[in-house]
Chains A and B, each alone.
Chain A
């Protein structure tokens, strides 16, 4: 697709809608608003990415990558000091990550936060993990039940039809299991559990009836869907997929929006702030800094959707100061910037599996196993030392040359040992809910970046509940591996190298709530204070649950877009 870029002035005196950000929620907002007839402008701070042609790392074998895939280590340490700590970063994907020197942020030395981001058309929808699990009322009622955070202004029944709606568009492959804590979607055929995982599922269930290992629910197609081809199991989706086999803004929503004729995309356009008009009590539009020319331009719209990612959207609101909102637009509550959360992970167990020496796999499955939360579901599963819960991702596979090649051995025997598939190893890793805490917050500093924009400071640590939960994660994954027949079971809690942010599920800071005195957004993702501003990315979240969140963000986005258009038709905004 071609995007408006460079120093071309906006084509309209006023758009119906501006969507800030082109990532997983921005793309969806654009699609929904355009399909409902709104003349919509998407503003993307990064540069253009052409679906397919720009996926320079796709299908590159190791011998075609710098240093056989290890990349330019010194340059990464210099320019990608934070991004290079992300599992998905490397020479085949570095174009999808920001240069950390160009885009600085700050945190105290003892409050490390790894802000992993990409500034380009499509955003992190190009590199996301694609795992999709619904929330249930166990999650929506959590704050009200235990008093941490404010009550969600919605319940499962409000979002259920929107889960149906977005999932059937996105295309999620998975296995219906009837688990209340992760309600089933309308799934495309599931990817297979391999023979060892199948055995683990049976043995774990037999030992622990409330722990069901299923195949991951993943936004990767297992059959043709809306004109996109099924997966061909090459492995690393995050390099980009020219067959559109995983869902992204570039493979799905932006093309759909463009097809309506109602969409304009403007790349290299950094939104400085939302412009507030005190007389109308509404936003007038946004102020944009052209990333290349540094020109400032004001672009008007009847409604603004902030989908610039959790920290990006809240940043814009904080930077939108006026007499009425000296602490940031929509911040009459004082909660803007606060209650930042990220899932805590980097913890679990692994072991060696036996009895499958004559079994192997074929194809690089871009998916693993999932065990839904089994802690604190009810009175019977209540844990003494922590509230809320965690989900478990994992898998089993045979090791290869990189492991067997580190064993003792030289010569023809050694070579022939490496030729054979190595032993089966299984692993279970946990992703845990993080409680909302006022002290976890972001702020704008007096330091400015090369565009004159204030540099953000992030203050975030995990709390006691998270640390207690981690003790159980270790015990509980080890016992499942033992029940599966694994030997040499080892557990690891790598919290030191897994700071907040590195999970890349950062959320909160512009939370939804029932009360304008304690929240930024109402039940429609609409700013309590400014009715024509909506925030539908992770910033809106009032709690974190433990499920991978993007499908929930997309459902909220589609629901909010539907409401916004309705309100516009009624003349309310």
Chain B
């Protein structure tokens, strides 16, 4: 990546692209918006910026963050390995809502989250985050089954709970902890072995080579 940045800077210095174009291309290389100080750090060749800033939620309010975390906790709890709460799956969900979903999808999710909570309160007389795990589980189980059925029958858009669970599962198993502590993650192998004895309790690979 550094050579791409160097090449880009060289071209700009040779006046072959103007500064505005260089900034646009730089932001594509680094995959996001850049602050002025980060840009000048790049242009003066100080190496990559970033790191150390706290995550800033763009969509989920603190209450919503708590709620999605509580839901995620039920789906993938901490066991002998960390759970979805521990890998900050609320941050991943926020990123997907803010930057990846189309506006109607995001609206549908937030509406669904709100209905999830209000129905729970109607049924149980308290907020989801204050309920017992058995009450939470009892509420979620039928919604889980219905969502899987909807997915298998090709019904679209998916019910809220189907989207929610997929986000939690994806957010967890593509996190470093989920991929390498709960499952196994390895990039470099001496060979491909097509006949490995699977021990009882043996873990699946988290990366499928795609």
Closest to A396 in B: B194
Contacts of B201 in A (CB 8 A): 419-420
Q: A59-B187, A61-B187, A292-B17 are known contacts. Are A421 and B204 too (CB-CB below 8 A)?
A: yes
- Is there contact, CB below 8 Å, between B174 and A410? no
- Is there contact, CB below 8 Å, between A359 and B176? no
Q: Give, as a whole number of angstroms, the nearest-CB distance from B51 to chain A.
A: 12
Bitwise, B13-27 to A at CB < 8 A (1) or not (0) is: 010110000000000
- Is there contact, CB below 8 Å, between B151 and A420? no
* A109 touches B (CB below 8 Å): no
Closest to B7 in A: A48
- Is there contact, CB below 8 Å, between B193 and A235? no
- Is there contact, CB below 8 Å, between B174 and A53? no
- Is there contact, CB below 8 Å, between A419 and B191? no
Q: Which of B4, B31, B145, B194 lies at the interface centre, i.e. has the most chain A CB atoms within 10 A of its CB?
A: B194
* Partner of A68 from B14, B141, B174 at Cβ < 8 Å: B174
Bitwise, A180-213 to B at CB < 8 A (1) or not (0) is: 0000000000011111011000000000000000
* Partner of B174 from A47, A63, A193, A293 at Cβ < 8 Å: A63
- Is there contact, CB below 8 Å, between B204 and A401? yes
* Partner of A360 from B176, B185, B190, B196 at Cβ < 8 Å: B196
Cα separation A366 to B179 with both chains bound (whole Å): 21
* A137 touches B (CB below 8 Å): no
Tell me the count of chain A residues lying within 8 A, CB to CB, of chain B. Answer: 67
Cα separation A421 to B203 with both chains bound (whole Å): 7
- Is there contact, CB below 8 Å, between B207 and A235? yes
Q: A69-B174, A358-B198, A411-B74 are known contacts. Are A234 and B209 too (CB-CB below 8 A)?
A: yes
Contacts of B65 in A (CB 8 A): none
Contacts of A197 in B (CB 8 A): 194
Q: A6-B14, A358-B197, A419-B182 are known contacts. Are A191 and B192 too (CB-CB below 8 A)?
A: yes
- Is there contact, CB below 8 Å, between B171 and A68? yes
Bitwise, A271-304 to B at CB < 8 A (1) or not (0) is: 0000000000000000000001100000000000
Closest to A63 in B: B176
Q: Give, as a whole number of angstroms, the nearest-CB distance from A61 to chain B.
A: 7
9-residue interface stretch from A70-78, A374-382, A459-467, A475-483: A70-78
* B206 touches A (CB below 8 Å): yes
- Is there contact, CB below 8 Å, between B148 and A406? yes
Contacts of A102 in B (CB 8 A): none
* B102 touches A (CB below 8 Å): yes
Bitwise, B68-84 to A at CB < 8 A (1) or not (0) is: 00000011110100010
- Is there contact, CB below 8 Å, between B197 and A68? no
Q: Which of B141, B201, B210 lies at the interface centre, i.e. has the most chain A CB atoms within 10 A of its CB?
A: B210
Q: A359-B198, A407-B148, A410-B140 are known contacts. Are A67 and B191 too (CB-CB below 8 A)?
A: no
* Partner of A359 from B7, B179, B196 at Cβ < 8 Å: B196
Cα separation A292 to B14 with both chains bound (whole Å): 11
* A11 touches B (CB below 8 Å): no
Q: A59-B187, A293-B16, A408-B145 are known contacts. Are A192 and B194 too (CB-CB below 8 A)?
A: yes
Cα separation A401 to B182 with both chains bound (whole Å): 11
* B3 touches A (CB below 8 Å): yes
Q: Which of A484-537 contact B (CB under 8 A)?
A: none
Closest to A419 in B: B203
Contacts of A421 in B (CB 8 A): 198, 202, 204-205
Bitwise, A48-70 to B at CB < 8 A (1) or not (0) is: 10100110100101110011111
Q: A361-B194, A401-B206 are known contacts. Are A67 and B11 too (CB-CB below 8 A)?
A: no
Contacts of B3 in A (CB 8 A): 50, 53-54
Cα separation A7 to B15 with both chains bound (whole Å): 11
- Is there contact, CB below 8 Å, between B194 and A194? yes
- Is there contact, CB below 8 Å, between B74 and A61? no
* A415 touches B (CB below 8 Å): yes
* B144 touches A (CB below 8 Å): yes
* Partner of B194 from A195, A292, A410, A411 at Cβ < 8 Å: A195
* Partner of B209 from A63, A195, A235, A357 at Cβ < 8 Å: A235
Contacts of A358 in B (CB 8 A): 197-198
* Partner of B137 from A61, A62, A69, A411 at Cβ < 8 Å: A411
* A36 touches B (CB below 8 Å): no
* A572 touches B (CB below 8 Å): no
Closest to A234 in B: B187
* Partner of B204 from A91, A293, A419 at Cβ < 8 Å: A419
Contacts of B179 in A (CB 8 A): 61-63
Contacts of A261 in B (CB 8 A): none
* Partner of B193 from A361, A401, A419 at Cβ < 8 Å: A361
- Is there contact, CB below 8 Å, between A400 and B75? no
Contacts of A95 in B (CB 8 A): 4
- Is there contact, CB below 8 Å, between B196 and A414? no
* Partner of B16 from A59, A292, A366 at Cβ < 8 Å: A292
Query: Can you show 10 pairs from A to B with CB atoms below 8 A apart?
Result: A6-B14, A6-B16, A63-B179, A191-B192, A194-B195, A232-B190, A400-B206, A401-B183, A405-B170, A408-B144
Beyond A401-B169, A409-B144, A419-B203: 16 further Cβ-contacts under 8 Å?
A: A63-B179, A66-B31, A67-B100, A95-B4, A198-B194, A234-B189, A235-B208, A236-B209, A292-B11, A358-B197, A360-B202, A405-B166, A408-B144, A410-B144, A415-B182, A420-B202
